């Protein structure tokens, strides 16, 4: 019998072709490769991870999602979280979010924050499902003038 293994692990430069594809498919203003390299190699506050799927009876491994979050002292900010559009709604984003929350809890982070486009109701609902609350609207936050919703979540609440 074949099983699918889900692994969440630190991102490497070798992952960038897959990460960049997902980035382009999921975001209006995608990061470029240099930004991800900075997160992987230089930013000491950054936690870039990937989600990969593999088959127990095969050597095939596919990067299907990623996240980047920054931790400073007792707070953390989710910068990016994405799953390839072809396999969204299969709990991979939730697995990644759970991993972020558990990692933050282990590091004694108290508050997790993020900004999300006001028009991105799918993402807003995802974050609400994971315990985030809408705090305020940041007007004209994005380069195209769209507002962002600022959301927070206490980490010690499961």
Active site residues: 115, 127
Extract the tokens encoding 155: 């980490």
Token pair for residue 61? 């491994």
Longest dimension (CA), the chain: 52
The DSSP line for 101-113 is: HHHHHHTT--EEE
How far apart CA 78 and CA 4 sit, in angstroms, is 27
Instruction: Check if the beta carbon of residue 124 is closer than 8 Å to that of residue 117.
Output: no
What residues have CB less than 8 Å from 10, skipping those under 6 apart? 47, 48, 49, 50
**8-state DSSP, 139:** T
Alpha carbons 31 and 11: distance in angstroms, whole number: 15
């Amino acid at each position: 019998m074949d099983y699918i293994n889900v692994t969440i692990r630190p991102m490497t430069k070798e992952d960038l072709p897959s990460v960049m594809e997902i980035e382009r498919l999921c975001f209006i203003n995608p990061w470029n490769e240099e930004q991800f390299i900075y997160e992987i190699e230089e930013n000491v506050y950054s936690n870039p991870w990937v989600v990969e799927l593999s088959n127990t009876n095969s050597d095939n491994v596919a990067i299907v999602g990623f996240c980047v979050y920054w931790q400073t002292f007792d707070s953390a900010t989710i910068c990016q979280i994405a799953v390839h559009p072809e396999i969204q709604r299969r709990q991979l984003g939730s697995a990644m979010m759970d991993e972020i929350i558990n990692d933050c809890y282990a590091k004694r982070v108290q508050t997790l924050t993020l900004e999300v486009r006001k028009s991105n109701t799918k993402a807003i609902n995802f974050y609400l499902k994971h315990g985030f609350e809408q705090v305020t609207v940041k007007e004209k936050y994005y380069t195209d003038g769209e507002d962002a919703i600022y959301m927070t979540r206490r980490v010690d609440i499961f």
